[in-house]
Amino acid sequence: MEILGMNLEFSDNKKMNQYFHRFAGQLSDWYCRDKAPELASQDTRFVLELQKEKIRALGLNMQVQIRKSAARDSAPFSCSYCDSVFVNSGVSGNKLINTIIRDSQKELYSKSAESVVAAIMQYPKEGSVPAPDTAFSCPHCGAPSTLGKLESGCEFCGTKFLMSELYPKVMYYSIEEGYQSKSEIHRYLKCSGAAALLMLIIFMVIRITEGSGFQVSDIAACIIGGPFLGAMMWIFVKIFSTFFQMGKDLRGAGKTGASLRFCREMRKLDPNFSTEYFRDKSFSLLKIMLYSRNPQELTVCRCAKPVPEKLREIVDATYCNSGVNKYSIKDGVCDVSLTFYIDSIHYCGGRIRNKSDKIRMSLRKVIKKPTDLGFSVSSVTCPSCGGSFDAEKVKDCPFCGNPYPLIENDWVVTDISMG
């Protein structure tokens, strides 16, 4: 496809996979070397920055190393959604994730897990050219700008961009723990070793109570019996962990009916609305609320109550599932209450804990116009004076002082609590 004289071909999976691996590397560089991920959209960067600020303020250091998986390599998945201009396409693959959290003295947490990394990449639809006034933050310095301005040179840093350098950009990403990093053989050997050791202890106890000496046949029994008992233990562990995993994935399954009804109704009012879009959008809002040190000051936050203390302990959140509890659409205003099931890392009393959380969050939007996938809260245009600014950090236009009506363009958070 041709965009502003640049030939871009995205239908080609190889190219998308290259972008995917590059983004994974950039994400790793962000956590370990403080290097801003260039492929990340400004809103994605905002979430990452909030998280880093929060972790620093707690006196912690978190490193997330994203490495090549020992298992199968990346495979693209089909999910994609679009509006009249943009396509959001998902690419996912296996990566080995090492998470290390330290305070100033010692290591508090370390985990290595095979995981699935998924990235939603946005690029212009074949044959369509995004308007020059499309909000776009400078990939180099992060200043709010527009596509047209960036092509003629960023007003702040002067860097010029070609359309091909600006797309694709990663709108959302997620990391979900896949299978264990230890291979099955490794786990089986561990079970066998444990079983053999257990048998040895039992034999020793028996021989000591009998008052007789340890016999060669006892050791032979341990060597033969260990692997046998180990196999039984291994099967037991496998069945148990499978059930546990299933239970986790089934959390929230009861909300499927309401979720589908909500999406069906929203699509009647907004043809660009999709389940995938709303899942990504709402989880990204949840992360902003969890990672922000002063959520009440965020433009997206319209909550009357403060964020509960328990939620403020969370320093990292991984999506498991979500569903709609209830919704109402009245006079062009949509209110929706959601429940999220997440795996999270809590920091409390100097200790790091892994938890599974259930969080309720309410969102609101004025449904005036269809979803605009190119919309970014980090570079908005003031409807009163036309000035562009970053609405992630300020609620009122810095040029004319009028409050920015975010709710007409995007979802805002009206309530958040522990489920």
What are the residues binding Zn ion (CB under 5 A)?
Answer: 138, 140-141, 143, 154, 156-157, 382, 384-385, 387, 397, 399-400
Nearer to Zn ion, 92 or 379 (CB): 379
CA distance 195 to 275: 48
DSSP string covering 102-151: E-SSSEEEEEEEEEEEEEEEEEEPTT----TTSEEE-TTT--EEEHHHHH
Per the CB < 8 A criterion, the answer to whether 47 and 175 are in contact is: no
Give counts: helices (H), strands (E), the chain.
Answer: 9, 15
Nearer to Zn ion, 327 or 389 (CB): 389
Pick 137 or 414: Cβ nearer Zn ion: 137
199 and 221 in contact (C-beta within 8 Å)? yes
Name the residue type at position 287.
K
User: Whole-number minimum distance, CB 381 to Zn ion, in Å?
Assistant: 9
- Provide φ and ψ at 148, rounded to 5°: -60, -45
Taking the complex as a whole, how short is the minimal distance between the CB of residue 397 and Zn ion, in angstroms? 3
Cβ neighbors of 181 (< 8 A, separation 6 or more) are: 70, 96, 112, 113, 114
Determine contact, residues 98/64, Cβ cutoff 8 Å.
yes
> Is 91 or 150 the residue whose CB approaches Zn ion more closely?
150
Q: Residues with Cβ < 8 Å from 234, sequence gap 6 or more?
A: 184, 187, 188, 191, 192
Minimum distance, C-beta of residue 242 to Zn ion, in the bound complex (Å): 50
**Residue 140, CA atoms < 13 Å, CB-side half-sphere:** 13
CB of 150 to Zn ion, least distance (A): 8
Cβ proximity to Zn ion, 236 vs 399, nearer residue? 399
> What is the closest distance, in whole angstroms, from the C-beta atom of residue 411 to Zn ion in the complex?
22
Q: What's the closest the beta carbon of residue 139 comes to Zn ion, in angstroms?
A: 8
Shortest distance in whole angstroms from residue 143 CB to Zn ion: 5
Decide whether 141 or 189 has the Cβ nearer to Zn ion.
141
Alpha-carbon distance of 298 to 392, in angstroms, equals 7
Q: Of the two residues 144 and 252, which places its CB atom closer to Zn ion in the complex?
A: 144
Tokens of 30: 């962000």
